[in-house]
Every structure is written in structure tokens, then in C-alpha cells.
Structure 1
Amino acid sequence: MWRGIGEMARSDAIKENDGTRMIIHWKCDMPEFYEMNHTKYFIFAFRLLTAVNGGSSPRLARQVTWNRTVNVSGGVGKNIEMDLHMEHMNRDYKESIKSAGGQLTQQTIERHSQMVGVGRLFDKEFDKNVSCRKTGHRKAGGANRETDLYHLVRALLSNNCVEEVNEARQHTGFPHFILNNDISNPLAFKKRIFKHKKKIAKRMNIVGH
């Protein structure tokens, strides 16, 4: 439940493009990156936190804080990660370029590049409002989750997760599960941070000269 609520909070911060909250989430996740040996994400988190706390120019700090999502469809709370949007555009481009076969020229590449992104949104709106032909996007109605709900309720009942208790709040489905967010070796964690801090300071000193 703790992780589920945390993922909901992170997703909401992205949808609302709340840069301050996203930075806080990176800070909270940094110890876990260390504990789980996710070195790449640990270094990225450290560099990001350094950049927004005086390690870069004010302009760059604002950019990495508030320019991390994109809203391609308009509306409030509909932002997605910029990296995810780039993946979507790369996928659309690869699908589009297949129609050219082996006849790839500079003009062909430029034309297909213009067909993705904004061009794809124009095509979607034209299909919906003008041509009236079916597209791959669902226009109305909701997903049928009756089967999933049935399995969820059955799992909760079989684990006695909905029984009324009078002593205290508890969850009987996972009685031996323990959530531990402590750092196993705080001194090594501190040493790792100082090592990366020295690397960044050395790089900044070289660039400054």
C-alpha cells in the first residue's frame, strides 16, 4: 500500500508538471537506488539534485525542474514524461518509414519526420472530426473491469483481508511482510555521495578554467 500510494503521488506530479514534487520524489528514491544497486539511477539522481541546489546556473536549474513533461493533447492534468513522448515519436517514425521500403533519401526522411508528432495529432483530429472513419483510439466508453474486480474480491476474501477487527488496524494478507527503508550502511552511502560530489566539483573547476 505504501508503494502504491507513492506511485500514485509520482504519477500525479508528472500529470500536473509539478517540478518541485518530482525533485522531492527523486530525493526520496535516492537511498533506495543505492540499496538496490541501481548505480545509473543513483548517479542521475545525485546530479539532478546537485543541479537544482546550486550546482548549475539558475536557468538550467529551472529547466531541469519544470521542463520534464510535455502535454501533447491539451487539458489540465494530462502531461506525460518527455522521455516517454520521445519514445512514442520514435515508434511512430519507425512505423511511418516502413512504407518507404528501401527508397530512403534525405527528402523522404524529412517528410516522414514531419508526419510524426504534431502531424500525427492533426491526422487524429482529422479522422475524428472530418473523415469519420475509425481510428485505433477509443472515443467513448470505459474498459470492462468486471473480471479483474471479481478476481480481486476473491483474493481479498480468501486472505481474510476484509474481516472486522476490534484491537487495531491490520492487514492479514501478508502477516510476515516487513517494509524496511533504512540504509544498510550509512557510512558507505555517505562515502559514495562525497565521491560523486568531488567528481562534479573537479569537472566544474576544469570547465571554469
Structure 2
Amino acid sequence: MKHGPSFLCAVCGKAYVRKSWLKQHLRVKHKLTFHVASSTIPETPLQTFMKMALIYRDTCDAYSMGDGGRIVRNAKFEWVYAGALHHTKYKIWLWRMITYINAILPPDQAFEYMWNMTVNLKGGIKSNIPNDNCVELQVFNIKRELNTQGANKSFESARNICMTTQVIDKIKEQVMFTSNVAKSSRNRKEVDKSKDILTMVDSLRRKGPVSELSWESFSKYKDPLSKIDIQKLHDWINEQKEIADLYM
């Protein structure tokens, strides 16, 4: 265990300057064995899929909780995956998010940006949505109001709708509150999966349990991170730095 500048043996109390010497002492004198993870075992397609799926699930949970710190941490993994899978737009967007917080913005603005990536439209825990999703909802409402004008559509009418949509919604909510009108729920009804489960059980009864699953495309699936060219990634980062220096 670590004790000041040295490492102490928990069994006999002998001190060592280096951690490797303490481990050697534990092996020789106290016959302790240390587990060493083998790096020769190849990663299976299922492990690769689960790793990506868990990152995605944790990101969705981070957005729903409004956890800006977790969103940024996961964005670093997502940026690497986006580059490996050649999703250029997402790669640039995630890169800019990370650099705004870690390098470009001053500390107070970076903190504000990190913890204002979501918006809560209906209150409650785990009811946050990403800001870009909120913008999409707002654009949908504006388009819906604009389509009611028919041939009278114009740039001026679109601008008026953009400036008054939120105000009208607030007035509507206030009128409904004062007149005790029940507000329509935005929650979706829970899907009844009982029929699907019965169908699966009937299928298993007829065909028996599935012992082997041969899926050629999945069995040959490789980890996207294995496709990364480190030199190209390094060159891309330097190119983005030059672009930032040019426009800042």
C-alpha cells in the first residue's frame, strides 16, 4: 500500500521505493500471485457491440438527466467512433463541442455551455432532451403554423410566427390554467408486449430452443476502432487546429 513516498508491504511492513519492487517482494516472500490480463485474446463481435451499445445507452441517460459532464466525457468516445466509421459531420460537431469546453471558451462560459446542453419541457427527473431536438420541435411548430396561411406565405409572415410562437404558447398555457382546463399529456402510452411474448413462446415450443446462431455478417464484424489510422487522425487534429487559428 502507498504510504508517503514509499510502498509498504501490508503483511510484514517492509518499505520499498518502487511499486515493482514491492510486487516482486510479495511474489517471492509471501507467494502472492497477480492476475495479468491477456491481450492476445481477440475481442468478439458481441463484446464490440455491447461496448458501443453501452456508450450509446449511457449517453441517452446523460441527456435525459441533463448531466453535462457525462455528455462531454461520452462525446470523446463518440468522436473516435464517428471518425472510424467516416461520419464526418458528427465527427466535426463532436470535435467542436469538446474543443469549445476544453480549449476555446473561458472557464465560466465553458461551464455554462456544458451544463446547458439540454432543456426540460415538461418538468420532472429524466425529462430533459438535447437542445437540437428542442429546436426541431420548434421548427415543426413554426412550419405547422406557416402551412395554415396557404398562398399568403411570405418571409415577413414566417418571421412573425418565429417571434410569436413561444409567446402564444405561454398565453395559451395561462388561459388553460386560469380556466382549469386539463392539459393534454405528452407521455406516450406504454406498448403492450404481451402478444409479442406469446408469439415468441409459441415459436420456441414448436421449433425448440435455439442452440446455435449463424449470422455471417455479424460473426465477421470488427471493432471500428481497429480501423483508425493514427497518423491520419493526428493530421486531422492538426488541420482543425490550423482552421481554428485562422478564424479566431
Same fold (TM over 0.5): yes
Distance across 2 between alignment mates of 1:72 and 1:111: 20
Which 10-residue stretch deviates more, 140-149 or 100-109? 100-109
The sequence identity of aligned pairs, in percent, is 19
What is the CA-CA distance between 1:48 and the residue it aligns to?
1.9
Name the residue aligned to 1:144: 192
What is the CA-CA distance between 1:62 and the residue it aligns to?
2.0
Q: Is 1:48 equivalent to 2:97 in the alignment?
A: yes
Name the residue aligned to 2:111: 62
Relative to 1, partners in 2 of residues 1:22 and 1:155: Cα closer, same or farther, differing over 3 Å? farther
Distance across 1 between alignment mates of 2:162 and 2:94: 35
1:89–1:117 CA contact under 8 A, matched in 2? no
Name the residue aligned to 1:126: 176
Unaligned runs of 5+ residues in structure 2 are 1-49
What is the CA-CA distance between 1:143 and the residue it aligns to?
2.2
1:97–1:109 CA contact under 8 A, matched in 2? no
Relative to 1, partners in 2 of residues 1:155 and 1:131: Cα closer, same or farther, differing over 3 Å? same
Distance across 2 between alignment mates of 1:121 and 1:11: 32
Q: Is 1:188 equivalent to 2:232 in the alignment?
A: yes
What is the CA-CA distance between 1:64 and the residue it aligns to?
2.7
CA displacement 1:79-103 (0-9 Å, x = unmatched): 0011111111111121123333334
2:146–2:161 CA contact under 8 A, matched in 1? no
Which 10-residue stretch deviates more, 152-161 or 24-33? 152-161
- Based on CA coordinates, which of the two structures has the bigger radius of gyration? 2
State the AA in 2 paired with 1:43: I
Unaligned runs of 5+ residues in structure 1 are 164-170, 205-209
TM-score normalised to structure 2 length: 0.62
Q: In the comparison of the two structures, how many residue pairs are matched?
A: 193
For the residue of structure 1 that corresponds to 2:226, the secondary structure is coil
TM-score normalised to structure 1 length: 0.71
State the AA in 1 paired with 2:240: H
CA RMSD of aligned residues (A): 3.8
Q: Is 1:201 equivalent to 2:245 in the alignment?
A: yes
